[in-house]
Amino acid sequence: MGSTSADKEELTVLVTGFGPFKEQHPVNPSWEIASRLPDYLPPIRAKTAHPSSSSAAPLPPVRILVHPEAIRVNYQTVRGLVPRLWDLGGDKRRIDVAIHIGMAGPAMAYSVERRGHRDGYALKDVDGELLKDQDRRLREGEDWVWHGMPKEMETDFDLDDVLGRWKKHSPDGLDLRISEDAGRYLCDFIYFSSLAHLTKAQETKRVVFLHVPSNSSEKAIATGRELALQLIRSIVESEIARRKL
């Protein structure tokens, strides 16, 4: 099918969620939230409109592309998957924004992570495997997948601006924040993997990680879905304001 002019204006946001985390969390809310997102960002509701929205140009169509499966909480699964995510399985349609979603602790806070980390992954994944990157790094040298990457990398999104917009668009009374430590487990790992992939490709680091509470009740999932949609809206607004999309 040929591209139309509308297709060319359309923005694509990739969203992922994780699968079960051992016996304690047979349902991972990150996947429940991601899997319930619509195919397109819905029009803004008047009651959540950003103060500048009335005078700003409307957003272009924003396609939400959810990875079709919950990602296994496994280091090597994530390492092999991330490059394919950015290639959309061979479809060269550009991903304008990626949001990885993962589960945090029981506190009802929703955190956007500023940075990912290269080192310090000492916990076993759901299959009981360690990352063992220190050994791999010594053995593979310049062929190591993260060779030349810094210890920390940050998203290129203006998260302070995004946070302000996100709070204005979202329901009142929720704890929305920026986090400086993604935890050095699979959440941090997938985030750094995307940051490193984009850096190696000399592309804009147009990815962010969203931590959601471990609560998997229907109410919590509905709240998480709404907040994920408003985060997408806020990122797109922020980037259009910076004329990067």
Alpha helices in 17-158 (DSSP H): 29-35, 75-87, 133-140
67, 117, 169, 211: the active-site residue:
211
The catalytically annotated residue of 32, 67, 100, 113 is 113
Instruction: Answer yes or no: 147 catalytic.
Output: no
Distance CA 217, CA 187 (A): 21
Is 142 one of the catalytic residues? no
Q: Which of 32, 187, 197, 239 is catalytic?
A: 187
Distance CA 149, CA 152 (A): 8
What DSSP letter does each residue of 93-130 carry, written as one string?
A: PPP-EEEEEEE--SS-EEEEE-EEESS---S--TTS--
Query: Catalytic annotation on 211?
Result: yes
Sheet containing 109-113: order of strands: 62-66, 11-16, 97-103, 207-212, 109-113, 175-179
31 and 19 Cβ atoms separated by less than 8 Å: yes
Dihedral sign (CA 166, 169, 170, 174)? positive
The residues that are catalytic are 113, 187, 211
